[in-house]
Amino acid sequence: MTKTAVITGSNSGIGLGVAHALAAEGHNVVINSYSDRDEDHALAREIAEKHGNKTLYIKADMSKADECRALITKAAAEFGCVDIVVNNAGIQHVAAIEDFPVETWDRIIAINMNSSFHTMAAALPMMREAGWGRIVNIASAHGLTASPYKSAYVTAKHGVVGMTKVVALETAEDPITCNAICPGYVLTPLVEAQIPDTMEKYGMDRDTVVREVLLERQPSKQFATVEQIGGTVVFLCSPNAEQITGTTISVDGGWTAL
Ligand code: NAD
C-alpha cells in the first residue's frame, strides 16, 4: 500500500539514496533540504520520473524547530498524512573540544539531534490517527562509539539513539515503530569533504587516507553504500520488521564488533 515518506536532508548522499529506495517501493516521497533551488525541484521530478511515484521537494531548515515541524505539516497537507519519517539531515565538524566553535556545536546539535525531536513530535499524532507509522533515524557508528575531535557529532548521534528508544517505548502498543540505523563510513559528499584535509594533515595520498584513516575502524575495508542504507530503511518499513522497535541496526562493515 502506498505510504507517504518524509526524508530530511535528502537532496544528497544517504538521504537521496533512501528517497530512491522508498520511491522504488511506490511510496510518495518528500525530499528536503534548506535550499530552494531549481535543481532541488528538478531532483524531485527526476525521482518521480524514474520510479513512477509522486515526489515533492519541500524546503525546510532543520536547524530551526518551527521549520522542522512545518515540513511535516506541509507534507501532510499535500499527501493527506505522513506515514514514514526518516531523520537523516546531518553535518559534521572536526575539532578538539577546547577549540570547538560554540555556534558550530549548537548547529550540529540542532540539525543532527533536535530536528528528529521536532519531526517526530509533529508526525506521531498523524501516525497514531492513521494506525500505522515508521520512524527511521539515521544515526551513525558514532551513535554507539566515539572518536576524538567529533564531540558535537558523537553527542548528537548518541542522543538520537537514546531518543529512538524513548519513542519506541512511548509507541510500543501502537502500530508504530522507531529504530535507528548506524552506518559506518558511506562514501557521500559529507565523507568526501573530509578527504582533502586529511590528505594534507597526514601527507598521504587519497587511497591511503581512505584505507588507513577513514576505513581504519571499518574491518571490511569497504564503504557502505547509499543503496544498502536505503534497503535497510525499506526493510524496517516492511511487515517483517513489525516487531523490530527501539533498536539500532549497524551497517558498518564490522566497526562496532571490534
Ligand atoms: P551529505 O552531506 O551528503 O547529506 C547531508 C544532507 O543533509 C544534505 O542533503 C544536506 O542538504 C542536508 N542538510 C544539511 N544541513 C541541513 C539543514 N540545516 N536543513 C536541512 N537539510 C540539511 O551527508 P551524508 O553522508 O549523506 O549524511 C546523511 C546522514 O547520514 C547524516 O545524518 C550523517 O550524520 C549520517 N551518516 C553518514 C555517514 C557517512 O559515512 N556518510 C556515516 C554515518 C552516518
Domains belonging to the chain, first-starting first, are 4-186+225-257 (3.40.50.720), 187-223 (no CATH)
SS3 187: coil
Instruction: Please give the pLDDT value at position 194.
Output: 85
Instruction: Please give the pLDDT value at position 196.
Output: 94
CA–CA–CA angle 130, 162, 171 (5° rounding): 25
CA–centroid distance, residue 154 to ligand 1 (Å): 14
Q: Where are the beta strands (DSSP E) in the chain?
A: 4-7, 28-33, 55-59, 84-87, 133-138, 176-183, 248-251
pLDDT tens for the chain, 258 residues: list them.
899 999 999 999 999 999 999 999 999 999 999 999 999 999 999 999 999 999 999 999 999 999 999 999 999 999 999 999 999 999 999 999 999 999 999 999 999 999 999 999 999 999 999 999 999 999 999 999 999 999 999 999 999 999 999 999 999 999 999 999 999 999 998 889 889 999 999 999 999 999 999 999 999 999 999 999 999 999 999 999 999 999 999 999 999 999
Q: Which ligand 1 atom is the nearest neighbour of the CA of 64?
A: 18
Q: Which residues 6+ apart lie within 8 Å of 228 measured at CB?
A: 251
To 10 degrees, what angle do helices 115-130 and 151-170 make? 20
To 10 degrees, what angle do helices 115-130 and 65-79 make? 30
pTM for the predicted model, two decimal places: 0.97
Instruction: Please give the pLDDT value at position 203.
Output: 96
- Please indicate whether residue 156, judged by its CB atom, sits closer than 6 Å to ligand 1: no
Mutate which of 29, 30, 33 for ligand 1? The one with the most ligand atoms within 8 Å of its CB, which is: 33
Residues present in the chain in total: 258
Q: Which ligand 1 atom is the nearest neighbour of the CA of 89?
A: 7
C-alpha grid cell, residue 178? 522507531
The enclosing H or E element of 162 equals helix 151-170
CA–centroid distance, residue 139 to ligand 1 (Å): 10
